[in-house]
């Protein structure tokens, strides 16, 4: 771990380090994994759209997402955008399907990729309240906090903030 607080969101570099530790330092491995995450993002967006609107809209969304040049481009370079989009798509899909623990875990991990995604938490809380009431809300909050707590505690220990 670092001897100072994290300046940026740490999930992507630590995930890369873990993959490099397992496979050796190869940017190609990361690019292939990002391509898989990009494809899964397209599938999640298609499923989310199909459930929200209709199956034809889902198919169109999946195809458009798969052919969208920025999504294709960002899969190759070693950048956190592909991971962040996948985790955000997983969060949206989990929220729509009333899976508070999965939504909390995916939002917490997404926040470790892009901190500003924590702004989605109140919207998800509103989504869980009508169906699952207090229990689903608690599961969602606890799962989210458990994902970001290690980084928050590290930063507090290293910097006092």
Maximal CA-CA distance, the chain: 52
Handedness of CA 7, 9, 13, 18 (dihedral sign): positive
Six token digits for residue 11: 């999930």
> For the segment 93-107, what is each residue's pLDDT rounded down to a tens digit?
998 888 899 999 999
Predicted TM-score (pTM) of this structure: 0.89
Chain center to CA of 20: 21
> For the segment 62-76, what is each residue's pLDDT rounded down to a tens digit?
999 999 999 888 888
Distance CA 142, CA 158 (A): 24
Long-range contact pairs involving 61-70 (C-beta distance under 8 Å, separation at least 24): 65/41, 66/39, 66/42
> For the segment 110-158, what is each residue's pLDDT rounded down to a tens digit?
999 998 999 988 888 887 777 667 888 889 999 999 999 998 888 888 8
Q: What is the chain's Cα-based Rg? A: 17
């Amino acid at each position: 771990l670092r001897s100072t607080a994290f300046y940026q969101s740490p999930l992507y570099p630590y995930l890369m380090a873990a993959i490099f530790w397992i496979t050796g330092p190869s940017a190609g491995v990361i690019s292939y994994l990002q391509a898989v995450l990009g494809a899964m993002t397209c599938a999640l967006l298609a499923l989310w759209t199909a459930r929200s609107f209709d199956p034809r809209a889902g198919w169109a969304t999946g195809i458009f997402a798969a052919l969208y040049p920025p999504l294709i481009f960002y899969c190759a370079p070693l950048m956190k955008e592909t991971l962040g989009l996948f985790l955000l798509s997983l969060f949206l899909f989990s929220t729509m399907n009333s899976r508070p623990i999965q939504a909390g875990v995916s939002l917490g991990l997404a926040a470790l990729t892009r901190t500003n995604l924590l702004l989605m938490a109140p919207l998800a809380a509103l989504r869980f309240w009508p169906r699952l009431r207090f229990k689903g809300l608690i599961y969602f909050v606890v799962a989210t906090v458990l994902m970001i707590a290690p980084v928050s505690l590290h930063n507090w220990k290293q910097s006092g903030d």
